[in-house]
Structure 1
Amino acid sequence: MHRWTIRCTRWLALCGWLAATASAFAAYPDKPVRLVVPFPPGGATDLLAREVSHALSVRLGQSVVIENRPGAGGNIAAVAVARAPADGYTLLFGTFGSLAVNKSLYDKPGYDPLKDFAPVASVAYLPNVLVVHPSVPARNVAELLALARREPGKLTYGSFGNGSSSHLAGELFTHMAGVRIDHVPYKGSAPAMTDLIGGRLTMMFDSISTALPYVRDGRVRALAVTTAKPSEQLPGVPTLAAAGVPGYELTAWFGVVAPANTPAAIVDRLNAEIVASLAQPELAARLASQGTVPFPSTPAQFGTYMRTQYQKWDGLIKSANIHLDQ
């Protein structure tokens, strides 16, 4: 009888805990959610994250607050989220750099994207575009490569951080083309573009969403896009593969992850609201105007995609001997 009483007591306690836990999940979120962005305000990642946070705020009925934490190619933000409580209130708006590349680029990034995060949803992708200052005497990629070969080490390219898509795009470009162009990292797209417009850089691989206004008003010249297909936003601008670097392809993608061990019920709720947000015609239209393509997925699909991308870029980084110090 005594043992039966103990078992009943334990069972009731467990039932009470499960009921309380289920109630907490059902009430999620009951306070603002932080969406940590690994780059400064004004760049493509920040702009896209703000679009998503606004739509998500409406659907969740709680504020989704952007917190910009730039530095180390996204590692600072990623480490902060990986170490945050796994309660759904701190999320990372990750890039393909922070979620698939940095593990191979850095000796000690401080986190493992495949172990330290719970994938929530992929969000979107967009091509980068190679732009040069108008004073550069190169009207196409072939002329730019010829210039780089005539003056090795004289040309420079800016990026929005070590390990970012713009940096990896430049490393892949110089490696595949066999030229030397010096890398100048910045803490975001906006400061790099400012120096390019000011003539302090030769060129830059930037996202179409942030480079497009400067291309249109003539402050920079677009030579090629990094994706396998041309972009509708830049008619007449070829791909790098077609313009002189056969086989070149790089797509910048974005997604939301939570700390590992975040309850599945919370992950599923966030996924459902992100996917529903991306399906809204107004948001899809705004993303399209920036050259961004919605890229929704389930948590499982995003996890598989992250792993596949890691394997792809890990192989390339090792074969090209690309390495960054922390």
Structure 2
Amino acid sequence: MINRRHFTLAAGASAFGTSALAQAELLRIVVGFPAGGVVDVVARELGEALKVTTGRNVIVENRPGAGGRLAVMAVKAAPPDGNTLLLTPSSIMTLYPSALNKLPYDTLADFAPVSTVCQSTNALAIGMHVPARTMGEFIAWCKANPKDASYASPGAGSAPHFLGAQIAKAAGIEMLHVPYKGAPDILVDLYGGRIAAFVTALSNAVQPSRDGKMRILVTTADRRSAALPDVPTVREAGFPDLAVTEWFGLLAPAATPAPRVAAMHAAIEKAVAAESVKKAFGQMVLDPDATAPAAFSNRIRADLDRWAGVARSLNYQRVDAT
């Protein structure tokens, strides 16, 4: 588990003086996952820096449940005054609409994009019992061992599920998808030789790879990860259409005034550039990134279209949100 500092963020020196951001005492960052996880740590590291760049008190509020959707609904219902922000991975806002029916929110209608804060990449890793060192060798092994060709993901309709299915389709192989509730159970079966492969956030695979417990074949970013410079990307492995990164971003309720959104993005941009934040993100294999509201909105629309196309290409049948 990632170590984190427990804190309630106190007011710091204001970067905006008597600006709109400094007029309200408290800024809430709502996270849809438990304390100690990656999204929570990102929120707290960012909040530490935001106390300086906004001059405000900042708290991180964990609202885990329903795959992150409880936090989404809490922010949707919050007053649009710039005092409440949702920190979320992109899949909840851009993939869920293609994976789930009856979502209680509309990504485009209910939220105002404020800023991305970092980018994450996924990876395809295999168990050490699979005698492959390259993507080509793994594809050949799957064809020779169709009954053993399988991959795990943290759930049906998740980004790793879709990515694994895309890899199999592009490679012309059959891989059984095995959904799990979380990474710990997946690792037990991967290490035990019961699952051949694992599609996951790179941050979950770096240390086990270094420890010799799994082998990472490819990552899904456009460029190689600084954490694993010897591991090729899917583009280098011959699958350019599979290159994709996941953003972590901050969104406000839809009616939040544009000047407040712009001022908050400026504060976030400075916070993301802080050395402490860059160091913390690097330790989690995340790339700092503060995309401005207009470009962030365009990215969201493009990602919605991308995942809708992926779902159609895979003939994925959406299930009801629970």
1:64 to 2:47 alignment:
no
Residues 44, 189 of structure 1: 8 Å contact kept: no
**Shift in CA distance, 194/69, structure 1 to aligned 2, threshold 3 Å:** farther
- Equivalent residue for 2:295, pick from 295, 301, 318: 301
Q: Which residue of 2 aligns with 1:10?
A: none
Greater Cα offset, 286-295 or 194-203: 194-203
**Shift in CA distance, 47/267, structure 1 to aligned 2, threshold 3 Å:** same
Over alpha carbons, which structure has the higher Rg? Answer: 1
Aligned-residue RMSD, C-alpha? 2.8
The alpha carbon displacement at 1:257 in A equals 0.6
The alpha carbon displacement at 1:82 in A equals 2.2
Percent identical across equivalent pairs?
Answer: 35
**Shift in CA distance, 304/132, structure 1 to aligned 2, threshold 3 Å:** same
**Shift in CA distance, 201/324, structure 1 to aligned 2, threshold 3 Å:** farther
The alpha carbon displacement at 1:135 in A equals 1.9
- Equivalent residue for 1:175, pick from 169, 175, 180: 169
1:36 to 2:70 alignment:
no
**Shift in CA distance, 176/288, structure 1 to aligned 2, threshold 3 Å:** same
The alpha carbon displacement at 1:275 in A equals 0.8
Residues 148, 196 of structure 2: 8 Å contact kept: no
The alpha carbon displacement at 1:121 in A equals 0.4
Q: Which residue of 1 aligns with 2:319?
A: 325
Please give the alpha-carbon distance, in whole angstroms, between the structure 2 residues aligned to 1:194 and 1:270.
Answer: 42
What is the TM-score when the length of structure 2 is the normalising length?
A: 0.81
Residues 277, 283 of structure 1: 8 Å contact kept: yes
- Equivalent residue for 1:278, pick from 262, 272, 275: 272
- Equivalent residue for 1:256, pick from 244, 250, 270: 250
Q: Which residue of 2 aligns with 1:81?
A: 75
Greater Cα offset, 231-240 or 164-173: 164-173
The alpha carbon displacement at 1:153 in A equals 5.4
Please give the alpha-carbon distance, in whole angstroms, between the structure 2 residues aligned to 1:272 and 1:148.
Answer: 49
Please give the alpha-carbon distance, in whole angstroms, between the structure 2 residues aligned to 1:312 and 1:120.
Answer: 21
SS in 2 for 1:242: coil
Q: Which residue of 2 aligns with 1:106?
A: 100
Amino acid in the other structure paired with 1:264: A
**Shift in CA distance, 91/163, structure 1 to aligned 2, threshold 3 Å:** farther
Q: Which residue of 2 aligns with 1:207?
A: 201
Amino acid in the other structure paired with 1:30: E
- Equivalent residue for 1:239, pick from 221, 233, 238: 233
Greater Cα offset, 313-322 or 251-260: 313-322
Please give the alpha-carbon distance, in whole angstroms, between the structure 2 residues aligned to 1:194 and 1:200.
Answer: 9
Gaps of 5+ in 1: 1-22
Gaps of 5+ in 2: 1-17
**Shift in CA distance, 232/110, structure 1 to aligned 2, threshold 3 Å:** same
Decide which structure has greater helix share. Answer: 1
Aligned residues: 302
What is the TM-score when the length of structure 1 is the normalising length?
A: 0.80
The alpha carbon displacement at 1:265 in A equals 4.1
**Shift in CA distance, 65/47, structure 1 to aligned 2, threshold 3 Å:** closer
The alpha carbon displacement at 1:245 in A equals 3.7
Residues 35, 53 of structure 1: 8 Å contact kept: no
SS in 2 for 1:119: strand
Amino acid in the other structure paired with 1:324: R
Residues 71, 187 of structure 1: 8 Å contact kept: no
Residues 131, 223 of structure 1: 8 Å contact kept: yes
